[in-house]
Amino acid sequence: MNSLQDIWNSIIGILSSKLTPTSIKTWFEDCTPVALNDGTLILHTTTELKRSILQQRFEGEIKEALREIFSCDFDILILAGDEEYEPAPDINPLPEMDGYTFENFIVGKCNEFAYAAAKGVVKNPGNKVYNPLFIYGNSGLGKTHLLCAIGTSIHENRPEAKIAYIKGDDFTNEMVRSLKEGTADEFRQKYRGVDLFLVDDIQFIAGKEATQEEFFHTFNSIYEAGHQIVITSDRPPIDMLRLDDRLRTRFEGGMMADVKPPDVETRMAIIRNKAGHLGMQLTDEIVAYMAEKITSNVRQIEGVINRLTAFRELTGDEITREMVDDAIKAVVRDGVYVPTPETILSEISRYYQVTEDDIKGVGRQKNIVSARHITAYLIRNLTNLPLSGIGDFLNRDHATVLSSIRKIEGQIKTDKDMAATIRDITSNINSRQ
């Protein structure tokens, strides 16, 4: 039940229960499916007349049938005669937001509040009730999706609006670079004059003083101009221990909305929807089985479905429970995310604004030495690498690694700031999964 023809047969099946056999024969006999692409079902019929009847009388019913099968909305495009289907060129000027819309966001109890708040922003950007909108929650639950959906919608409503999307860590990097290159003024202008400021993963700026200072001024000038700010984070401001208090107050001064892991109904709807967009129809049994097995994270659901599409293309078979199990095993890894030493190193290098070579090198500057100790400590705690392996990775012998680890263990007990730093960095690493 996977090919386009199968899907079309299901649609005809549903329509047959609502329409007379004569209607079906007259209007649908020479109507054929051409493609199912990016949320649009493309059909072909023989004459202009048939097309116009199909559009006027039956489009709604076809859409309803699609919704029944896939739990999501599709557009319908009907070609007639010798018209051919050419995929439309992409005119989205905000490429990084491509594909993240409100229409393809599945709403459930877990995210309905955040969804409504995001819609509220689109309706009334700059309104104090939703300014800033601060969306928080664990990784893979749709924060970036909602943030970009806001951008996409406002862009559609007001193509002239100046919209900036930036990740918290890129804000830091851009700022540092602009200071080095003597272009700090341009950097300031760039963000302070926008109508809509979308900041993804703000947690990355916590603990970085110069960045927080700059961000504070950027925030204020956008806010005071009555323009809209939307921020996402993997935790609420109160849990961002190293966040400047002035920023915390600002973040908490608008609307805060969390996204939670989806309940089983929402997971089933998401699975149907994602599979549908890839032109893959799963049986109810398989949908329920998947929803039962993948519980925490929408990104994982997507990963599993992508794998299944690949299996299907390889084997051409019906999706089975065994295939689902294999796909889950490949994607979820027993539910525990194990970062690589490279990821840990790169996160710490970013956090401390020192290079990876510095960390692996011999320099004795204070922040480099801290970064080095923390790298050893976190690799030990977050991966299964033995001390000798950590030593090889960091160009150190195993006794030196052990002494680094002990040092951090000691500091965590006595120094609140170190404990908070470790927690921040760990959380950043986990949000990279």
Nearer to ligand ADP, 195 or 234 (CB): 234
Burial of 292 (0-12, 13-18, 19+ CB in 10 A): exposed
**Which of 39, 142, 237, 254 touches ligand ADP by CB under 6 A?**
142
Q: In the bound complex, what is the minimum distance in angstroms from residue 131's beta carbon to Mg ion?
A: 21
**Which of 2, 45, 71, 139 touches ligand ADP by CB under 6 A?**
139
Nearer to ligand ADP, 54 or 110 (CB): 110
Closest CA to 280 of 248, 312, 320: 312
Instruction: State the residue number with the nearest CB to Mg ion.
Output: 144
The reply on whether position 258 binds ligand ADP by CB under 6 A is no
**Which of 39, 132, 140, 391 touches ligand ADP by CB under 6 A?**
140
Three-class SS state of 72: coil
Instruction: State the residue number with the nearest CB to ligand ADP.
Output: 142
Residue 382 has, within 13 A of its CA and on its CB side, a CA count of 24
Cis amide bond preceding 261, omega within 30:
no
Q: In the bound complex, what is the minimum distance in angstroms from residue 43's beta carbon to Mg ion?
A: 36
Q: Which two tokens stand for residue 404?
A: 């680094």
The reply on whether position 235 binds ligand ADP by CB under 6 A is no
The reply on whether position 271 binds ligand ADP by CB under 6 A is no
Q: Which two tokens stand for residue 217?
A: 């001024």
DSSP 130-146: GSSEEEE-STTSSHHHH
Q: In the bound complex, what is the minimum distance in angstroms from residue 426's beta carbon to Mg ion?
A: 17
**Which of 270, 305, 324, 376 touches ligand ADP by CB under 6 A?**
270
Footprint on residues 274-303 left by ligand ADP (CB under 6 A): 298-299, 302
Print the SS3 string covering 337-383.
Answer: CCCCHHHHHHHHHHHHCCCHHHHHCCCCCHHHHHHHHHHHHHHHHHC
| Mutual angle of helices 387-394 and 341-352, in 10-degree steps | 50
N residues, the chain: 433
Q: Per residue in 28-47, is it b (16+ CB within 10 Å) or e — as a string?
A: beebebbebbebebbbbbee
The reply on whether position 141 binds ligand ADP by CB under 6 A is yes
Residue holding tokens 């030990």?
Answer: 380
Q: Pattern 191-220, binding to ligand ADP, x per CB under 6 A? A: ------------------------------
Nearer to ligand ADP, 36 or 270 (CB): 270
The reply on whether position 111 binds ligand ADP by CB under 6 A is yes
Cα–Cα distance, 368 to 282 (Å, whole number): 52
Cα–Cα distance, 147 to 117 (Å, whole number): 11
Cα–Cα separations (whole angstroms), residue 120 to 102, 123, 366: 12, 5, 47
Q: In the bound complex, what is the minimum distance in angstroms from residue 117's beta carbon to Mg ion?
A: 17
Q: Pattern 124-143, binding to Mg ion, x per CB under 5 A? A: -------------------x
Binding part of the chain for ligand ADP, among 11-19, 99-107, 244-252, 349-357 by CB under 6 A, reads 99-107
DSSP 267-286: HHHHHHHHHHHTT----HHH
Nearer to ligand ADP, 332 or 371 (CB): 332
Question: Where are the strands (E) in 183-312, listed by range?
Answer: 196-200, 228-233, 255-258
Q: How many residues bind ligand ADP (CB under 6 A)?
A: 16
Q: In the bound complex, what is the minimum distance in angstroms from residue 106's beta carbon to ligand ADP?
A: 4
**Which of 71, 131, 144, 281 touches ligand ADP by CB under 6 A?**
144
Binding part of the chain for ligand ADP, among 124-132, 134-142, 180-188, 331-339 by CB under 6 A, reads 134-142
The reply on whether position 144 binds Mg ion by CB under 5 A is yes
Nearer to ligand ADP, 202 or 405 (CB): 202
Footprint on residues 299-338 left by ligand ADP (CB under 6 A): 299, 302
Nearer to Mg ion, 143 or 227 (CB): 143
Q: What is the binding site for ligand ADP (CB under 6 A)?
A: 100, 104-106, 111, 139-145, 270, 298-299, 302
Q: What is the binding site for Mg ion (CB under 5 A)?
A: 143-144
